[in-house]
């Protein structure tokens, strides 16, 4: 077992960290306060090839391994979790399925623009009546000659406002009268595609979340991803990949809160001593450090298994479950260590805590992560 990062992975960490500290640190609090993102940042991210982290070079991607991908999301999220969200969704649940299950024509048509950030992508499954119960989607497409006519709506769509290529889950009628599930590649400029108002959110405010409405959209058959009945299976495999990114995001947020807490505890004097010298505080730091290390190992192991083409459903659910959970705990303890100052918006601690909260919810809640882990264990994948 080798726990060392390769030279390339170390270089990725150094360069992405520098980018995040130089470019994102000044804007992260503004994005949060004003609930906005910036086109300039989208362009800056293109310069470091962050839109096609794992896509092949022939499509303009950086063709990095999955650990480098996790490191990139971790480092970006350490400074600006909202930008980390935009990137992880685009790279994992947006770009990856097109690369993995797309036809050559679909790859040629979409991947270059996706890898270079000309088109932002997303994955939209959740509906008002279908959250954790992903099979409950009600969007419906009906065949009409060589096309499908799509109707329905989606909620809570990350990159919904800025995405121009969205993968959406929909039902269709099979010949035997039963319904199946398919994934369609939708483009924002299709007639009948409507973007809802931005949601007012607790955290991740620099990432715009919207609903999407589909009114009789005519979608050519060529826009089906994979084969018709394969939609649900593709979605589940895609989420296995996506969860590594969300876990890396949670890890980055926890790391940021922890670093602030260590620094603050060394400088804050009470009872004529730095508060770090009180065991009540130093033990908190010890717990934070241990949890973060454990989460990092789980995230990198899931990424490693993915690259080795081994099973990683259990591992990705475990890393998402644990990293999200400890991100909530660590950010809360970091506020505690900062005392009243931690509660104020002048410092980023309360932002970290608000941002961390959703990492146990999206791409499958922590309850659903435990279901997946338990199912795997009981099937013999101990």
Residues in binding contact with ligand FAD, number by CB under 6 A: 22
Of the ranges 126-134, 144-152, 226-234, 289-297, which one interacts with ligand FAD (CB under 6 A)?
A: 126-134
Rg (CA), the chain: 21
Report the b/e string of 253-282 with b at 16+ CB within 10 A: bbbbbbebbbebbeebeeeeebbbeeeebe
Please state, in angstroms and rounded to a whole number, the distance separating the CA atoms of residues 355 and 221.
39
Region near ligand FAD per CB under 6 A, out of 104-112, 119-127, 306-314, 338-346: 119-127
Residue 106 in contact with ligand FAD, rule: CB under 6 A = no
For residue 264, the SS3 value is: helix
Q: Which residue is nearest to ligand FAD (CB)?
A: 131
Instruction: Find the binder of ligand FAD among 156, 258, 264, 312 (CB under 6 A).
Output: 156
Provide the mask over 188-207, with x wherever binding to ligand FAD is found by CB under 6 A and - wherever it is not. Answer: -------------x--x---
> Which among 125-133, 219-227, 247-255, 283-291 is the span making contact with ligand FAD, rule CB under 6 A?
125-133
**Residue 185 φ/ψ, nearest 5 degrees:** -95, 115
Closest CB 291 distance from ligand FAD, rounded Å: 21
Shorter beta-carbon distance to ligand FAD: residue 83 or 126: 126
C-alpha separations of 103 from 98, 227, 242, 324 in Å:
8, 10, 21, 35
Residue 321 within binding range of ligand FAD, rule CB under 6 A: no
Q: Is 124 in the site for ligand FAD (CB under 6 A)?
A: yes
By the rule CB under 6 A, 37 interacts with ligand FAD: no
Task: Decide if 329 contacts 92 (C-beta within 8 A).
Answer: no
Residue 127 designated active-site:
no
Cβ atoms of 295 and 365 within 8 Å: the answer is no
- Collapse the DSSP code of 335 into the 3-class scheme (helix H, G, I; strand E, B; otherwise coil) and give the result: helix
Asked if 70 is part of the footprint of ligand FAD (rule: CB under 6 A), the reply reads no
User: Which residues make beta-bridge pairs with 225?
Assistant: 183
96 binds ligand FAD (CB under 6 A): no
Minimum distance from CB of 14 to ligand FAD (Å)? Answer: 30
- Interhelix angle 349-357/231-267, nearest 10 degrees: 160
Q: Which stretch binds ligand FAD (CB under 6 A): 28-36, 54-62, 155-163, 299-307?
A: 155-163
The residue within the footprint of ligand FAD, chosen from 96, 99, 110, 123 (CB under 6 A), is: 123
Q: Does 210 engage in binding with ligand FAD (CB under 6 A)?
A: no
- 75, 127, 315, 363: the catalytic one is 363
CB of 359 to ligand FAD, least distance (A): 10
Q: Choose, by CB under 6 A, the member of 125, 172, 264, 312 that binds ligand FAD.
A: 125
The structure tokens listed for 55 are 């896509």
d(CA 12, CA 18) in angstroms, rounded, equals 10
- The two tokens of residue 63 are 């063709």
Rama region for 60: left / alpha / beta (φ>0; ψ in -120 to 50; rest): left
> Quick check: helix, strand or coil at residue 292?
helix
d(CA 146, CA 203): 43
Q: Of 132, 143, 270, 290, which lies in the binding site for ligand FAD, with binding defined by CB under 6 A?
A: 132
5 scored as a contact of ligand FAD (CB under 6 A): no
Report the candidate in 83, 239, 77, 89 with the shortest Cα–Cα distance to residue 163: 89
Pick the binder of ligand FAD from 157, 208, 219, 247 (CB under 6 A): 157
The residue to which tokens 């979605």 are assigned: 235
We find the least distance from the C-beta atom of residue 183 to ligand FAD, in angstroms, to be 11
Closer residue to ligand FAD in complex, CB, 238/276 = 238
Q: Measured from the CB atom, is 60 or 117 closer to ligand FAD?
A: 117
Residues 347-376 that bind ligand FAD (CB under 6 A): 358, 361-365, 367-368
> Would you say 36 and 209 are in contact if contact means Cβ atoms under 8 Å apart?
no
The CA distance from 261 to 257, in Å, is 6
Binding site for ligand FAD (CB under 6 A): 89, 122-126, 131-132, 156-158, 201, 204, 209, 358, 361-365, 367-368
| Residues annotated as catalytic (active site), given as ranges | 363
């Amino acid at each position: 077992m080798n726990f060392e990062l390769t030279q390339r992975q170390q270089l990725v960490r150094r360069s992405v960290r520098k980018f995040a500290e130089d470019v994102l640190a000044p804007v992260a609090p503004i994005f949060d306060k004003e609930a906005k993102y910036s086109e300039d940042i989208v362009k800056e991210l293109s310069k470091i090839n962050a839109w096609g982290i794992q896509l092949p070079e022939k499509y303009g991607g950086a063709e990095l391994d999955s650990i480098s991908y996790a490191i990139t999301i971790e480092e970006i999220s350490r400074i600006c979790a909202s930008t980390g969200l935009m990137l992880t969704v685009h790279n994992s649940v947006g770009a990856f399925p097109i690369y993995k299950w797309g036809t050559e024509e679909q790859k040629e048509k979409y991947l270059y623009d996706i890898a270079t950030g000309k088109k932002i992508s997303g994955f939209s499954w959740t509906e008002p009546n279908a959250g954790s119960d992903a099979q409950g989607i009600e969007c419906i497409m009906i065949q009409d000659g060589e096309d499908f006519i799509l109707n329905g709506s989606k909620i809570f769509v990350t990159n919904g406002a800025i995405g121009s290529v969205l993968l959406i889950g929909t039902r269709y009628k099979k010949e035997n009268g039963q319904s199946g599930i398919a994934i369609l590649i939708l483009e924002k400029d299709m007639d009948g595609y409507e973007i809802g108002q931005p949601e007012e959110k607790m955290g991740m405010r620099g990432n715009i979340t919207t609903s999407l409405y589909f009114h009789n959209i005519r979608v050519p058959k060529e826009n089906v991803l994979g084969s018709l009945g394969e939609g649900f299976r593709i979605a589940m495999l895609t989420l296995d990949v996506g969860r590594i990114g969300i876990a890396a995001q949670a890890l980055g947020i926890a790391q940021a809160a922890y670093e602030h807490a260590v620094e603050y505890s060394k400088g804050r004097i009470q009872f004529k001593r730095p508060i770090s010298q009180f065991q009540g505080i130093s033990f908190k730091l010890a717990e934070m450090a241990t949890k973060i290390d454990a989460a990092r190992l789980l995230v990198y192991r899931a990424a490693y298994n993915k690259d080795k083409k081994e099973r990683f459903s259990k591992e990705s659910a475990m890393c998402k479950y644990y990293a999200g959970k400890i991100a909530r705990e660590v950010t809360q303890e970091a506020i505690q260590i900062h005392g009243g100052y931690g509660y104020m918006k002048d410092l980023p601690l309360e932002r970290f805590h608000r941002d961390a909260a959703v990492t146990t919810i999206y791409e499958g809640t922590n309850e659903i992560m435990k279901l997946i882990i338990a199912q795997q264990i009981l099937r013999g994948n101990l």
